[in-house]
Chain A
Amino acid sequence: MKILYIEDDVIDQKNCQIILNQKEDINLTVVDQFEKAFDFISKEKIDVLISDQRVGMDHFKDHWHQFLGIPYFIVSNSPDENLNTLLQPPLQLFQKPFQVEHSDNIVKKMESLKAEPNLSYAENITEGAPDLLTEMVFILKSQFEEGIDKIPYLYEKKNTEELIQVVHKLISKFSVLSMSESFSFFNRVEKCLRDQLTLNNFAYKRLVTDLQEGLNFINFYIKQHELHNS
């Protein structure tokens, strides 16, 4: 897991490094300014952002869309609960000093975000009607395929109006697949586009990645249940 930590206090930096480096699969980068974090994420993909509240939050409030789709945690001497009302709120607020318990929480939280898609919703509403289930699964498949085809094209052409429509149509489909993180992310992207905020490259790529993940599951389901499109 690739973590970017924004902190200008050298002691806090060291402390966090010591704790997080104890975990085998964590690759930590520390920067001391928010602007450096901007530069970093424009070049490299990260999985998690941890930020000191004071260094980060004024920027987050104004530039949240630059970090759209990147899960983040806040550390502070006095965590501000109001941050939970931000459009993209932190996953958790930690009281300084950063502790082993916090790093465990980050790992657990990130694990819980990993999507385990299912089609229980479609199975329930089509109970006793296998043909309808098949029909609905193939409709979903075509909508995900359409999204994967259209989003890069519309993004490149800067056709925001149509991009909003495509994203909007797909939001609730993630709910159908129980992919709650993707559901929230697509929701934020739609708000961001409607507010005419520019998507960052990370967010744009994640749109396609999340759709592909959903599509992979649908294809797996079709194969597993031997469904055939009539």
Chain B
Amino acid sequence: MNCIIVDDDLFYCKTLQSFCERLDLNLLGVFSDPVKAMGILSEREDIDLVFLDIHMPDISGFDILKSNPKLNVVISTMDETKAIEAFDYNVVDYLLKPVTLDRFIRAVNRAKERLSGNGNSASYKETPAPNASDNTNPKEIYVNVNKRLVKIELDNIYIIEAKGDYILIKLIEGKNQVVHTTLKSIMSKLPENIFVRVHRSNVVNIKKIVDIEDSSILINKEVVSISKTYRENLLSKLNLIN
């Protein structure tokens, strides 16, 4: 299996390189500079697998994924908050640093399965990896709850609240969900004409609003405050008769 490593951190380049050698993978190159990696990715078509970091200077791992939607990629990062976004690009696996050899082997096995056609690559090869920003009207969202990807219908959400490292997704029906991510991150996945920030800690589904007062909103029998900063934006999204 031909592979390359793209990581600006020398320590992890060495780590992944030693893992590749142990598994007899054919390592074509190790790139601490993502720009150079983009170069080789555009030149060669025989790269089976890329071990890719997310946070790098100038170009992020996601930029590489966007430009190369057909690549088989194993993400290797210390950022646990980007997993859902990464799986939107149909990555093979998502490894958290520091990566262990056992976990690396499992990721390579998944890649082998996909390359041999036994993995979930069929639909992937036929259609490019979905890009959240292209998907303007999603009906649902998948969130990672205790290592399970749980589907939530967007129409069932009425408020999303920031809770430190987590968000609380309040649902009209069913149990509310606590997810390890940020408001900013989940908002990038939601239709911006429907989900609107009304406070530093709150996003509301405007379809569920009952009424709006000066500094508060009644939504699904719950009152939430609107801060001045976000009020104008909220009003601009509503179908107002002046």
The residue of chain A having its C-beta at the shortest distance from the C-beta of B180 within the complex is A85
- Give the docked Cα–Cα distance between A176 and B18 (Å): 16
**In the assembled complex, B10 has its CB within 8 A of some CB on chain A:** yes
Q: Would you call A10 an interface residue if the criterion is a C-beta within 8 Å of the partner chain's C-beta atoms?
A: no
Segment among A66-74, A133-141, A148-156, A198-206 that sits at the interface with chain B: A133-141
A230 at the interface (CB under 8 A from B): no
CB distance from B51 to the nearest CB of A (A): 14
Q: Nearest Cβ distance between residue A175 and chain B, in whole angstroms?
A: 5
A143 vs B14: C-alpha distance in the bound complex, in angstroms?
14
| Cβ contacts B146-166/A at 8 Å (1 or 0 each) | 000000000000000001111
User: Is B234 an interface residue, CB under 8 A from the partner?
Assistant: no
Q: Does A54 contact B (CB under 8 A)?
A: no
Q: What is the size, in residues, of chain B's interface with A at 8 Å between Cβ atoms?
A: 20
**Number of residues on chain A facing chain B (CB within 8 A):** 26
Q: Answer whether A140 and B57 are a contact pair too, CB < 8 Å, given A121-B98, A175-B98.
A: no
A165 CB contacts on chain B under 8 angstroms: 55, 57
The residue in chain B whose Cβ has the minimal distance to the Cβ of A129 is B18
- Give Cα A195–Cα B100 distance, bound, in whole angstroms: 31
Report which of A85, A121, A136, A172 forms a contact with B166, defined as CB distance below 8 A.
A85
Q: Mark B164-188, 1 if CB is under 8 A from A, else 0.
A: 1110000000000010000000000
Nearest-neighbor residue (CB-CB) of B11 within chain A: A139
A136 touches B19 (CB 8 A): no
Judge whether B11 and A173 touch: CB under 8 Å: yes
Partner among B14, B163, B165, B166 whose Cβ is within 8 Å of the Cβ of A135: B14
Contact B164 A143 (CB under 8 A): no
> Which residues between 116 and 138 of chain A lie within 8 Å of chain B, taking CB atoms?
121, 124-126, 129, 132, 135-136
Q: Which of B8, B18, B57 has the most CB of A within 10 A?
A: B18
Q: Is A82 positioned at the interface, with any CB of B under 8 Å from its CB?
A: yes
* A169 lies within 8 A of B9 (CB): yes
- Complex Cα gap A169–B55 (Å): 9
Given A82-B163, A121-B98: A172 and B18 within 8 A (CB)? no
Q: Is the CB of B78 within 8 A of A172?
A: yes
Report A13-45 CB contacts with B as 1/0, cut-off 8 Å. Answer: 000000000000000000000000000000000
| A125 touching B164, Cβ below 8 Å | no
Within the complex, the shortest CB–CB distance from B102 to chain A, in Å, comes to 10
Q: Does A91 lie at the interface of the complex (its beta carbon under 8 Å from any beta carbon of B)? A: no
Most A-side CB within 10 Å, residue of B11, B18, B19, B55: B11
**3 closest residue pairs by CB, A with B:** A172-B78, A87-B164, A86-B164
6 contacts between A and B (CB under 8 A): A82-B163, A86-B163, A87-B164, A125-B18, A135-B14, A139-B11
- Residue positions of A touching B, CB distance < 8 A: 82, 85-89, 121, 124-126, 129, 132, 135-136, 139-140, 143, 165, 168-169, 171-173, 175-176, 191
